[in-house]
Structure 1
Amino acid sequence: MPSPALDRLTLIACVHTALENQPWAHTLWEGGSASFGRTDTWSDADLQAVVDDDHVPDAFAAVESALAKIAPVDDRLIVPEPAWHGHSQRFYRFTGSPPWLLLDFCVMKLSAPYKFNDELHGRPPVLFDRAGLFARPRPVDRLALETRLRDRLAQLTARLKFFGHFPDKELRRGHLIDALHWYQSIVLTALVEMLRIKHDPLRHNWGNRYLHQTLPAADAARLQRLMFVADPAAIPSHCREALAWLESLAAELAAMPSLANPH
Structure 2
Amino acid sequence: MMAENKLQREQIIKAVVNALEPFSYVHALWQGGAAAFGRVDQWSDIDFMVIADWESIPRVFETVETAIEKLVGFDLIFDVPQPTSHGFFQKFYRLRQASPFLLIDLAVGDLEKPDKFLEPEIHGNPIVHFDRKNIIASQPLDREKFKQNMLMALERAKVRLDIFQLFFDKEYNRGNYLDAFDFYFNFALSGLLAVLRMKHSPYHYTFRSKYANYDLPPEVVKRLEELYFVKGPEDLKAKYRQVKEWFAKAVLEVE
> Is the TM value for this pair above 0.5?
yes
What is the deviation of 1:250?
A: 1.2
Pair 1:236–1:84, CA change in 2 (3 A): closer
Where do residues 108-187 of structure 1 align in structure 2 (5 Å cutoff)?
108-119=109-120, 120-136=122-138, 138-187=139-188
* Bigger mean CA offset, 161-170 vs 211-220: 161-170
Separation of aligned partners in 2, 1:174 and 1:58: 54
> Which residue pairs with 1:16 in the alignment?
17
Pair 1:159–1:66, CA change in 2 (3 A): closer
Pair 1:162–1:60, CA change in 2 (3 A): closer
Letter in 2 for 1:58: R
Q: Helix, strand or coil for the counterpart of 1:250?
A: helix
Q: How many residues align?
A: 251
Identity of aligned residues (%): 36
Q: Helix, strand or coil for the counterpart of 1:76?
A: strand
The gaps in structure 1 that reach 5 residues or longer are 255-263
Separation of aligned partners in 2, 1:191 and 1:5: 37
Separation of aligned partners in 2, 1:151 and 1:86: 22
Query: Residue 191 of structure 1 contacts residue 246 of structure 1 at CA under 8 Å; is this kept in 2?
Result: yes
What is the deviation of 1:24?
A: 2.4
What is the deviation of 1:249?
A: 0.7
Instruction: Please list the CA deviations of residues 117-155 of structure 1 after superposition, one character each: whole Å capped at 9, or x if unmatched.
Output: 22322211111112111233x122222222222222222
Cα RMSD (Å): 2.1
Where do residues 11-90 of structure 1 align in structure 2 (5 Å cutoff)?
11-90=12-91
Instruction: Please list the CA deviations of residues 152-191 of structure 1 after superposition, one character each: whole Å capped at 9, or x if unmatched.
Output: 2222222222333433333322222122122112211111
Query: Residue 75 of structure 1 contacts residue 94 of structure 1 at CA under 8 Å; is this kept in 2?
Result: yes
Report the TM-score, using the length of structure 1 for normalisation: 0.87
What is the deviation of 1:81?
A: 2.9
Pair 1:182–1:64, CA change in 2 (3 A): closer
Instruction: Please list the CA deviations of residues 36-87 of structure 1 after superposition, one character each: whole Å capped at 9, or x if unmatched.
Output: 2222111111101122333223222222222222112212222333333223
Separation of aligned partners in 1, 2:7 and 2:91: 19
Query: Residue 193 of structure 2 contacts residue 209 of structure 2 at CA under 8 Å; is this kept in 1?
Result: yes
Instruction: Please list the CA deviations of residues 76-113 of structure 1 after superposition, one character each: whole Å capped at 9, or x if unmatched.
Output: 22233333322322221122434322111122223333
Query: Residue 193 of structure 1 contacts residue 205 of structure 1 at CA under 8 Å; is this kept in 2?
Result: yes
Q: Helix, strand or coil for the counterpart of 1:35?
A: helix
Runs of 4+ in 1 over 4 A off after TM superposition: 3-6
Report the TM-score, using the length of structure 2 for normalisation: 0.89
The gaps in structure 2 that reach 5 residues or longer are none
Separation of aligned partners in 1, 2:251 and 2:137: 38
Q: Helix, strand or coil for the counterpart of 2:101?
A: coil
Query: Residue 73 of structure 2 contacts residue 96 of structure 2 at CA under 8 Å; is this kept in 1?
Result: yes
> Which residue pairs with 1:192 in the alignment?
193
Query: Residue 88 of structure 2 contacts residue 109 of structure 2 at CA under 8 Å; is this kept in 1?
Result: yes
* Bigger mean CA offset, 215-224 vs 231-240: 231-240
> Which residue pairs with 1:209 in the alignment?
210
What is the deviation of 1:209?
A: 1.1
